[in-house]
Amino acid sequence: MGEFQKLAKLSDLQEGKVFVAETRYHKVGLTKLGNEICAFADLCTHDGEEIAEGDLEGDVIVCPRHSAKFNIRTGKVLCMPAVEDLPVYKTRIVGDDVEVELED
C-alpha cells in the first residue's frame, strides 16, 4: 500500500474535464464523475505518452495519439492498440483536499 498525498482541491476538479497533478514520480489525471473522484496515471500504456489531453467520454478516456480507450474507474483497456490496463488510484476527500494513494 502507498501513502495518500494531497494532489488537488475539490474546486480544481470539474465534471468532464481532466486536471493533471504532478508529484516527484507521478503525473496523475483527476476528474469528477458525479460524486466520485477518479484518479489515473497520465500515460497511455500503449506508448507511454500523456493521456489526460485525450477526450473524456463519461468514464472513458481516449488517447489523443492512437485512440486507445480506457475506463478511468477500473483502468480496464477497452480497445487496441493498448493491451495493458491503465493504472488507477484510490482517492479520498479530506475537507476540501483531494488525496490520492500513490507509491513512490
Q: Is the pLDDT of residue 74 over 80?
A: yes
Q: Which residue in 19, 24, 8 sits closest to 95, CA to CA?
A: 8
Global confidence as pTM:
0.94
CATH class of 3-102: mainly beta
Q: pLDDT by residue (tens digit) across 2-46?
A: 899 999 999 999 999 999 999 988 899 999 999 999 999 999 999
The pLDDT of residue 2 is: 87
Q: Is the pLDDT of residue 80 over 80?
A: yes
Distance (Å) of CA 102 to CA 78, 90, 99 = 24, 8, 9
